[in-house]
Amino acid sequence: MKTNILDKLVSFCYGILNNGIDPSKGHEENKNIQRLIIFIFFGIGVNLISALLNCLHGLYLSVSINLTSILLLSVSYFLNKDGRLFFAKVLGIITINLYLFAISYAEGLRAGEHMFYFPFLLALIFVIDIRNSYDELIMTAVVTFITAAMIFIMAPYVSNVQNISTELYSALFSSNLSLSLVITALFTYYILKTLERNEDKILEEKKYKDTIYDTSLDAVFIVDTSSLMVTDCNRRALEIFGINGKDAVIKLSARQLLGEKMEEHIVVQGKQSFEKKSPWYGNMDFVKKDDTPFYAYVNIVPFLHSDISYCKISILDITEIKIAEFEIINAKEKAEKAAQVKSRFLSNMSHELRTPLNAIIGTTNIILHEEYLPTQRQSFEVLKYSSEHMMQLVNDILDFSKIEAGKMELENTPFNMKAFLQKVVTSFTAPVAAKNLSLKIAIEDSTDMEVFGDETRLNQVMNNLLANAIKFTESGTISLEVKIVKRKSNSTDIRFAVSDTGIGIPPNKIRQIFESFTQADIETTRKFGGTGLGLAISKRIIEQMGGNLQVESTVGSGSNFYFTLNFEITKQQKSYVDEDKLKQLTELDGVKILLAEDNPINMIVAKRFLQKWNIQVLEAENGLKAVELFYLHKPDLLLIDLEMPEMDGAQTVEAIRKTHKDIPIIAFTAATYENIRQDLLSKGFNDYVPKPFKPEELHKKIMFYTSTPGFLEHRQAS
């Protein structure tokens, strides 16, 4: 019970002493508030003790002065509590001075009340912030010294207003002297303890800063800018430079330790105006004590201390970062060289693979168009399928390498959207029927328009999506839906969707199927085959066209692949090639074509198709022979291979274009590389047919270039 009462009493006292303290205020402001409270309670305490003694001695005038002083000091306490620190401080100081004057006048100097000036002056040390409040210090000093002077000038030695005996004066003097000494001793002890605490805080602060200073990752040197001598350093500086102790660094010149370049920077920084300090940052090279070089990031900051200018030099060792940068640069150069080698390899591989494939596919097509034994048809069909499948794999790998290198360029040529879609559907009618699937087509009539785009790449995507739908569907329906979702005067948004009722894709595998060389799972790869490049290439192509290939799928129910593309509508809604005329026309009587091809098998294949269309063929096994035959026979059109002996395709075209600007020349090549179409056009070709060639594509281009008004004028002139 006693302990609880004591705790409550202590808590009450702390509550009074901390009244007015605000955690949101700064430390210094709260410290001043607390010291003023101590000063006020010092005054109240002295007056209470004096009032009690005066009551015992019958000095009631002195008691009234004590009570008045207590009242005014209480007002000062509540002003401080309300946050009015300045008024509370002024009232407290004036109250104490008036009290000492009034009590000294009422009791006389012989009573010794003026001796309370000693603890009072000590108390003022805490009340007034000497560092920041010069006005308060001057005001307090003036008021205190004036009051003290008035006491000794105006106050009588013995009281004129109260009857005080000699024995009572002796008692009053003794009690006031004793109380004054006790209070002075208490305040002196408090001052000493405060100074001790401040010293501990300073030492703790120094220890804290030294810890930060010595545990920094930066090597720190302090250099006197006038003498250019090192005056201090941290532990990290000794570690980086391989120095045993500070004694080996202190008083060492900056040039000797940090180099001539560093000394120059210190001199420049030392001349700066310290009101406008401008630190220097940069990379520098240094040498350790054992002559090992290292790279560092340096920061030089000028500062003033005790009217002496210094520079703080922070040095961060970045040797490992620099080494990593060099390794990254070397790796980048190696990667670029590897990419160039890869590009050349793929180009060469393309040509080398396409050339024999052209012969295989072309020969197979010729055989299938001629007489053969019925028992041989299955073998020829297998040969045709396998060679075309291999060609598709080669194309996928080359296309993917282009996309990975960011070198796939899209064409922007006009084509009829509905006619394009009809050709796509036609090419898949037989495969769908072969698996006893139904083909559902929903193509809006409004798609019968001519738009700008890359027909070849869009065809590649549609073929891939439809081929996948057929491959992964054992029974049910393959659907193709194409509709216009938005149309403006000069552009249109068209949505393409290919759906099936096949095996479907698990939700956790949907993202994976668009990654290169990846299918939904290993079992799918084993059962259905494929490289896993088709969807990855298709997605990249659609993204490059400005769309996003997406899929919705349920395992066992099928998948729906869809995307939307924006096309610019051509102003002239007319096809460049009359498709109906192309279907009807099977022969090209009277057309004379010069075929330049160094590969004898490719020559045989191409010649057989051209002659099948009643075209007169002139054969040239190299570029030089082609130029001779051209000027000798004046052909209507030229099919020129790019890579030939004696004179390559580009040189052949250059020689012919000197005299014949309008003759149609088509590149007939197995090569593939970035911007091939633009490159060939710049070299004088009108168009190109890639090998292995599709007979209908070659037929279409020959018909186009031999039915234009320019061709007819050229023929009449010849």
Whether residues 171 and 74 share a domain: the answer is yes
**Full residue range of the structural domain in which residue 231 is found:** 216-317
Judge whether residue 529 has pLDDT over 50.
no
Rounded CA separation 675/411 (Å): 9
Res 716: pLDDT: 52
Judge whether residue 573 has pLDDT over 50.
no
Between CA 137 and CA 143, with CA 142 as vertex, the angle to 5 degrees is 100
* Residue that terminates a domain, selected from 257, 288, 317: 317
393 in a structural domain: no
Using DSSP's 3-state secondary structure scheme, residue 415 falls into strand
* Residue that terminates a domain, selected from 523, 542, 569: 569
Using DSSP's 3-state secondary structure scheme, residue 633 falls into helix
Judge whether residue 42 has pLDDT over 90.
no
363 in a structural domain: no
Res 663: pLDDT: 92
Whether residues 82 and 180 share a domain: the answer is yes
Query: Burial, 337: exposed, middle or buried (Cβ in 10 Å; 0-12, 13-18, 19+)?
Result: exposed
Judge whether residue 630 has pLDDT over 90.
yes
pLDDT digits (tens, 9 = 90+) for 678-700: 889 999 999 988 877 778 888 88
Rounded CA separation 688/91 (Å): 104
Res 485: pLDDT: 87
Res 13: pLDDT: 53
pLDDT digits (tens, 9 = 90+) for 64-109: 888 888 888 888 888 877 777 777 777 877 887 888 888 888 878 8
328 in a structural domain: no
Whether residues 592 and 666 share a domain: the answer is yes
pLDDT digits (tens, 9 = 90+) for 150-159: 888 888 888 8
Q: Name the least confident of 190-199, 581-590, 621-630.
A: 581-590
Judge whether residue 341 has pLDDT over 80.
no
pLDDT digits (tens, 9 = 90+) for 460-502: 888 889 888 888 888 889 999 999 888 776 888 999 999 999 8
Q: What is the CATH number of the domain that holds 473?
A: 3.30.565.10
Whether residues 225 and 306 share a domain: the answer is yes
Q: What integer is the mean pLDDT of 563-572?
A: 84
Q: What integer is the mean pLDDT of 498-523?
A: 71
403 in a structural domain: no
Rounded CA separation 704/536 (Å): 35
Judge whether residue 628 has pLDDT over 80.
yes
Judge whether residue 139 has pLDDT over 90.
no
Res 577: pLDDT: 40
Domain count for the chain: 4
| CA 609 remoteness from chain centre | 58
Q: What integer is the mean pLDDT of 384-413?
A: 66
Q: What integer is the mean pLDDT of 639-664?
A: 90
Whether residues 108 and 171 share a domain: the answer is yes
Whether residues 501 and 621 share a domain: the answer is no
- Averaged confidence pLDDT in the chain: 78
Q: How confident is the model at residue 669 (pLDDT cuts 50, 70, 90)?
A: confident
Which positions ≥6 away from 608 have C-beta within 8 Å?
A: 362, 366
Residue type at 527 in one-letter notation? K
Whether residues 226 and 272 share a domain: the answer is yes
Instruction: For residue 483, count other CB atoms closer than 10 A to its CB.
Output: 15
What is the percent of the chain where pLDDT is above 90?
10
Rounded CA separation 566/494 (Å): 6
Res 707: pLDDT: 76
pLDDT higher for 655 or 256?
A: 655
Rounded CA separation 133/709 (Å): 102
Burial 310-321 (b: 16+ CB within 10 A, else e): bbbbbbbbbeee
Q: What is the CATH number of the domain that holds 229?
A: 3.30.450.20
Res 60: pLDDT: 84
Q: Name the least confident of 238-247, 386-395, 523-532.
A: 523-532
Beta partners for residue 441, in sequence order: 480
| Contact criterion met (CB below 8 Å) for 364 and 376 | no
Q: What integer is the mean pLDDT of 263-276?
A: 74
Res 576: pLDDT: 39
Judge whether residue 167 has pLDDT over 50.
yes
Q: What is the CATH number of the domain that holds 619?
A: 3.40.50.2300
Best CA proximity match to 309, nearest among 210, 231, 220 = 231
| Contact criterion met (CB below 8 Å) for 539 and 560 | no
8 in a structural domain: yes
| Contact criterion met (CB below 8 Å) for 497 and 561 | yes
Element (H, E) at 296: strand 293-305
Whether residues 225 and 200 share a domain: the answer is no
pLDDT higher for 531 or 645?
A: 645
478-481: long-range pairs with CB below 8 Å, 24+: 478/428, 478/432, 478/437, 478/438, 478/439, 478/440, 479/439, 479/440, 479/441, 479/442, 480/421, 480/424, 480/425, 480/439, 480/440, 480/441, 480/442, 480/443, 481/442, 481/443
pLDDT higher for 316 or 524?
A: 316
Judge whether residue 676 has pLDDT over 60.
yes
Res 463: pLDDT: 86
355 in a structural domain: no
Judge whether residue 400 has pLDDT over 70.
no
Torsion sign, CA atoms 595, 596, 597, 598 = positive
Q: How confident is the model at residue 403 (pLDDT cuts 50, 70, 90)?
A: low
Rounded CA separation 252/228 (Å): 9
Whether residues 80 and 39 share a domain: the answer is yes
Whether residues 162 and 24 share a domain: the answer is yes
Whether residues 52 and 196 share a domain: the answer is yes
**Which DSSP category does 370 fall into?**
S
pLDDT higher for 360 or 653?
A: 653
pLDDT higher for 709 or 612?
A: 612
Whether residues 48 and 130 share a domain: the answer is yes
Q: What integer is the mean pLDDT of 424-430?
A: 82
333 in a structural domain: no
* Residue that terminates a domain, selected from 171, 205, 239: 205
389 in a structural domain: no
Judge whether residue 300 has pLDDT over 80.
yes
Q: What integer is the mean pLDDT of 49-69?
A: 84
Region at 476 (left for phi over 0; alpha for psi -120 to 50; beta for the rest): left
Torsion sign, CA atoms 311, 317, 319, 324 = negative
